[in-house]
Structure 1
Amino acid sequence: MRCLEFYICYYGMRWYKKEEKCHHLDLYNFFYIIIAVIPYWVRFLQCVRRLFEEKDWAHLVNGSRYFLTIVAVVIRTVFELKIEKRWEVLALLSSVAAILFNTCWDIVVDWGLLQKKSKNMFLRNKLAVSRKYVYFVVMVLDVILRLGWLQLVLKFNIRALKGAAISTLFSSVEIFRRGVWMFFRLENEHLNNVGRYRAFKSVPLPFSYYEEEEKKNE
């Protein structure tokens, strides 16, 4: 989304023929921040709505982590634009806080692991993967891959990779991390289907397909 904004600015203003840069425009920088937080802001509002509708305080905690992520993204973006020491420190602290919060939520809530009274130590009672060490590996992997966020603040100096190559590498790593998260998230949801969440193994649709077919035939 940020790349799209840059293309519109770069080619729309025909700055490829000039020496000016898009980041010199205050309006561009404003939307540069807004665009980055849109996905997190939408999820935050969804959590707030569910909090009021379901009266479940877990949605407040979930919304808090999205709000913390928004703060981290905004501060990190300001640091990227200003390159000042104070903003670097704030960006580092906010990013670390967001990483810790989101990592704990991934492992404990989304994956349902690290349960104290589980018959499978540090895991959960029901497991779909027979080899238990896989869960410990993915927990450590999730922490390590989450730390990739810090690259945007610390600017790791990798000689073989520069600029866009580093962004591409860490973006690919993030895609992989989300794929792993999705697998174990769905596993936890499936195993708890007939427990905390629902009384049925499948969720019925809010309409009857056969009744509609009968009405059509009539």
Structure 2
Amino acid sequence: MIHWLPLISIIITFFILLKDKSSVVSQRLSQTIKRVIKGSIDVSIRNNDILLTDTFTSYNKVLVDFLIYISALILGMPTLPTGPRELSKSHLQVFNLDLLLANFPSFLRLKQCLKEYNQSNRQNIAHLLNAIKYSTAFFPTFAMILFKNGVFKTLGCWYFFTFVNSAYSLYWDITNDWNFGFFLKFLSNKPNIKILRNKLLYAKTAYIVAILIDTQLRFIWIYRLFYVGDAVSESSTAKFFIMLFTTEKGNFILEILEIFRRWVWVFLKVETEYIKMSSESNVIELQNFD
């Protein structure tokens, strides 16, 4: 019975959130979840759908762990071992299902972007560029699959595609989602572009810290290149990063860090949309592709 307690807790949580059919909040959450799972989007409340789907992409590793847990329950495997032994993932690694399932949230977001692009009569290029950004999340997965099957002898392609995805995503976070001119300041010849933007609701230090956090956690995988496989170094830093990328404890820490990064992202994304909606003039103050 103890192995079912986590699942029962999750079911109770969702039941409490969705049980009140007369509540506007419960209805909206239920309808949003249904749209998101299908990769659909309601353009009249697009920020509502985008925020939930984007948040879902940060829970991709959590999704895989949850499916490992569910499949272990179905197969009668112990899910809460009392010893140091970790829950086996071999049953979900058949045909690389774990890697493919991790990309499911990005696939949903890709569908939403393409739908918005088609609804704009293929005029709003920003939706297409955003779709391309989410498509870059698939290439590291394919590179890892090929590496595991011996097609690639090293992880070089995985590092390359992960860099492309991280760099593209970081640029989009700062330039489009937060409407900062940080990158445009150096990539454009326009002299009046600000590093941040005209309207700010928080102290400037908060935005600088947010950019640093987003950059660090978008590229945290780079420490794997430096430390994993280094059998010579005995430094505590090397041991920490080896633990981070090779153990279940480290995987859990990475999941928490990614959720924290998304939490920071949501604050500034909501602020940006609030400023856009509360603008009293027709002049777009924010540097935005939307």
RMSD between aligned alpha carbons? 3.3
Superposition map of 1:1-218 within 5 A:
1-7=63-69, 10=72, 12-13=74-75, 23=90, 28-54=94-120, 55=122, 56-79=124-147, 81-82=148-149, 86-114=153-181, 116=185, 121-129=194-202, 131-150=203-222, 156=228, 158-159=238-239, 161=243, 163-195=247-279
Contact 2:170 2:218 in 1 (8 A): yes
Contact 1:9 1:22 in 2 (8 A): no
Q: 1:138 to 1:22 in 2, by over 3 A?
A: closer
Number of matched pairs: 191
Structure 1 unaligned regions, length at least 5: 200-218
What secondary structure, in the 3-state scheme, does the structure 2 residue paired with 1:159 have? helix
Higher normalized helix content (fraction of residues):
1
Partners of 1:166 and 1:91 lie apart in 2 by 20
Pick the structure with greater CA Rg.
1
Contact 2:180 2:196 in 1 (8 A): yes
Deviation at 1:153, TM superposition (A): 6.7
Q: 1:152 to 1:84 in 2, by over 3 A?
A: farther
Structure 2 unaligned regions, length at least 5: 1-62, 79-87, 231-237, 284-290
Partners of 1:112 and 1:134 lie apart in 2 by 15
Contact 2:100 2:141 in 1 (8 A): no
Deviation at 1:168, TM superposition (A): 1.1
Contact 2:68 2:92 in 1 (8 A): no
Partners of 1:10 and 1:155 lie apart in 2 by 32
Q: 1:34 to 1:153 in 2, by over 3 A?
A: farther
Deviation at 1:140, TM superposition (A): 1.8
Deviation at 1:46, TM superposition (A): 0.9
Partners of 1:22 and 1:139 lie apart in 2 by 35
State, as a whole percentage, how many aligned pairs show the same letter: 23
Greater relative CO, 1 or 2 (CA 8 Å, sep 6+): 2
